[in-house]
Amino acid sequence: MFILTPKPDYKKIETEVLTFWKNKKIFARSISERPESKKFVFYEGPPTANGHPGIHHIIARAYKDIIPRYKTMRGFRVPRQAGWDTHGLPVELEVEKMLGISGKDKIESLTPTKRESIIKFNQLCKENVFKYQKEWERVTERIGYWIDMDNPYITFKNEYIEKLWGIIKIIWSKGFLYQDYKVLPYCFRCGTGLSSHEVAQEFKDKTDTSIFVKFKSASEENTFFLAWTTTPWTLPGNVALAVGKEIKYGKYQLETGKKIILAENLALKILGEKATKIDLFIGADLVGQKYEPIFNIEKTHKDQFTILPGDFVSTSEGSGIVHTAVMYGEDDFALSKKFNLPTIHTVDPKGNFTDQVKKLAGKNIFIANQIIIDDLKQRDLLFKELKITHSYPFCWRCHNPLIYYAKESWFIAMKKLRSQLVSNNEKINWIPAHLKHGRFGNWLDETKDWALSR
């Protein structure tokens, strides 16, 4: 029996309630005394126990407590199983730090054999992952969150992992699993793709040579499309040029007699005052025109080396014509999907040119930058070069500049499920209601295929 006072001692009251719950096993009884036939099952969205619980966890746990309690009061039997998320980079990084090592190679040579090294590293990760388990349990109990922490599911347990493989098999047998490329920030020195969280770790100013390159029109004598790039090494991988359909482009005659096509509003800045405008059109008029490849790369598709429409093209910088190397840029890759362009690497995972690029085969891309620029100059395909200093992502592990690189990845075809997801959302009673067609609804409308391996 509690007596209400004008100045209640909450801490004391709460402790008394908690003790009462504990002694009388109220949580366990709130489950066992409800009928087996009327179940409402809750699995905790598992936190990682290698970090301290924070205030945001308390809010989330309070919400997670409300629904099961409500269901219990409605007469349901509500088993609630806690879980621990033990996978992922945070744990691995913590252990690497502890061992004073960094990267895959170092992990694999912890002991004389690779296999033993991986076993040892995994074991250390498994130990490290429960570093703050006691704190988590204490906080959970203290805030009165009812969850079965004595029998948690743990994501590193084989039975859990096997379950996931079982789910992937179901997805596969339904035809929803496929392999494709995903363009991601990549460090060729470490040989690994980086998450956006990792990329954000290290941005530095980097000075590069940006170049304006002349792509010779295949149909019109002495006429060139001008494209701009800060990554000359992607030029051998060029498969298309992109223009904005609505953007205005001009054809300009230079003093040399050569004709250059580029966005009208950038012409003065790039070509100077002596160029004469001889024609004006919009991007849509250019779409479908062909140009000559600047490197002797095999042509495997009819739309290769063609002007294509891209809604990512802007005239805020460059020339308004975007050089498209589908394996080395996100927008570029999306364009390849739309027009079925060939997806062939000209750079290997170690950052060297493949045999496909004859003159540069085996050369590192950053070393090749200058060779490419000199070569273009010699062939009179370089219009202009400019030094630019921009904020550029570096690998936080080895401090090598990152590149965007298409890596093979497994995908779940979520887009096929979009209409089903959208119609199921209609059945959900959202609180607050605006989330239904707002944040969540918008997210469903934009459903993308899910790249689940990196």
For Zn ion, give the closer residue by CB, 372 or 402: 402
Residue 224, both tokens: 């060139």
CB of 400 to Zn ion, least distance (A): 5
| 394 three-state secondary structure | strand
Q: Decide: residue 92, CB within 10 A, 0-12 exposed, 13-18 middle, 19+ buried.
A: middle
Long-range contacts at 178-182 (CB < 8 A, ≥ 24 apart)? 178/410, 178/411, 178/413, 179/408, 179/409, 179/410, 179/411, 180/408, 180/409, 180/411, 181/327, 181/333, 181/343, 181/406, 181/407, 181/408, 181/409, 182/406, 182/407, 182/409, 182/411, 182/451, 182/454
User: In angstroms, rounded to a whole number, what is the distance separating the alpha carbons of residues 38 and 35?
Assistant: 6
**d(Cα 62, Cα 64) in Å, to the nearest integer?**
5
Q: Given the complex with Zn ion, which of 81 and 400 has the nearer CB atom?
A: 400
Question: Which lies closer to Zn ion via its Cβ, residue 88 or residue 103?
Answer: 103
Helix segments in 55-174, DSSP class H: 55-73, 89-99, 104-108, 114-128, 133-142, 158-173
Residues making contact with Zn ion (CB under 5 A): 187, 189-190, 395, 397-398, 400
What string of DSSP letters covers 276-305? EEEEEEEHHHHTT-BB--SS-----STTTT
In angstroms and rounded to an integer, the radius of gyration of the C-alpha atoms of the chain is 30
Min dist. Cβ of residue 396 to Zn ion (A) = 8
Could you tell me the smallest distance in angstroms from the CB atom of residue 128 to Zn ion? 23
Q: Which of 337, 343, 339, 330 is nearest to 302 (CA)?
A: 339
Handedness of CA 98, 454, 81, 59 (dihedral sign): positive
DSSP state of 417: G
Q: Between 123 and 201, name the residue whose CB sits nearer to Zn ion.
A: 201
Neighbours of 324 (CB within 10 A): 26
Q: How far is the CB of 190 from Zn ion (least distance, A)?
A: 3
Q: Is omega for the bond preceding 432 within 30 degrees of 0, making it cis? A: yes
For 399, the 3-state DSSP assignment is coil
To Zn ion, the closest distance from the beta carbon of 188 in angstroms equals: 8
Q: Indicate the residue among 367 and 388 with the shorter CB distance to Zn ion.
A: 367
* Shortest spacing between CB 103 and Zn ion, in angstroms: 7
Closest CB to Zn ion among residues 337, 399: 399
Q: Minimum CB separation from Zn ion for residue 187, in Å?
A: 3
- Comparison of 189 and 245: residue with beta carbon closer to Zn ion: 189
Closest approach, Cβ 402 to Zn ion, in A, equals 8
Asked if 308 contacts 335 with a C-beta cutoff of 8 angstroms, the reply is yes
The residue (of 148 and 348) whose beta carbon lies closer to Zn ion is 348
Nearer residue to Zn ion within complex by CB, 100 or 175? 100
Considering beta carbons, is residue 187 or 368 the nearer one to Zn ion? Answer: 187
- Residues 242 and 306: their CA atoms lie apart, in Å, by 8
Closest approach, Cβ 249 to Zn ion, in A, equals 40
Report which DSSP code applies to 366: H
Task: Give the nearest distance from C-beta 404 to Zn ion in angstroms.
Answer: 14
